């Protein structure tokens, strides 16, 4: 089984590209893939200003994935019941790069490391910071191609 952690921006193509949700759902049901997400994703998608879009994205994410605790803890960002306290914060610190604005990204990268799975993101800056720390990263386009869905470049 291939496990992958979804970044919030990786959800949009599953909602927007014809056949993407169905292909991912089939892979999850068949057991070839497991998609996971964290409370960070829920928090980010809950900030989507358009109510209908917000609900759609959240339902897509919950329909395809499974909620897991983050691989690190950040005061002011982490939800106590859905985070892990860890001794090794190397990846978190490196991805955060001393910039508080990168905290959510750092939590996702740390989760990918803890869960020992690739991160799926369309954020080029996060991709560069995470791969620089040894995190395997895919775009949604690459994941969808693996699932047999051909789309133009996403992100």
The two three-digit tokens of residue 140, written as one number: 């949604």
Q: 150 vs 18, 57, 63, 98, CA distance in Å? A: 10, 21, 21, 38
Domain-located, residue 76: yes
Which pLDDT tens digit goes with each residue over 29-72?
A: 999 999 999 999 999 999 999 999 999 999 999 999 999 999 87
Domain-located, residue 81: yes
pLDDT of residue 106: 85
Domain-located, residue 111: yes
Report the C-alpha gap between 123 and 106 in whole angstroms: 13
pLDDT of residue 151: 78
Q: What's 136's domain CATH number? A: 3.40.50.1010
Which pLDDT tens digit goes with each residue over 73-93?
A: 775 667 666 666 655 555 555
Domain-located, residue 58: yes
Provide the domain limits for residue 131. 2-146
Cα 151 from chain centroid (whole Å): 19
Which pLDDT tens digit goes with each residue over 17-30?
A: 999 999 999 999 99
Domain-located, residue 120: yes
Residue 98 pLDDT greater than 60, yes or no: no
Query: How many domains in the chain?
Result: 1
Domain-located, residue 153: no
pTM for this prediction: 0.85
């Amino acid at each position: 089984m291939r496990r992958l952690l979804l970044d919030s921006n990786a959800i949009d193509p599953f909602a927007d590209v014809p056949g993407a949700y169905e292909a991912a759902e089939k892979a999850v049901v068949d057991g070839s893939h497991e998609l996971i997400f964290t409370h960070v994703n829920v928090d980010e998608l809950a900030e989507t200003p358009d109510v209908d879009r917000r609900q759609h994205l959240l339902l897509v994410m919950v329909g395809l994935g499974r909620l897991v605790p983050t691989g690190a803890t950040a005061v002011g960002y982490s939800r106590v019941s859905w985070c892990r306290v860890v001794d090794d914060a190397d990846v978190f610190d490196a991805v955060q790069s001393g910039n508080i604005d990168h905290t959510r990204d750092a939590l996702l990268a740390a989760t990918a490391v803890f869960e020992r799975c690739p991160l799926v993101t369309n954020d080029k800056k996060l991709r560069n910071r995470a791969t620089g720390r040894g995190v395997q990263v895919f775009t949604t386009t690459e994941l969808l191609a693996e699932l047999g869905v051909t789309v133009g470049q996403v992100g």
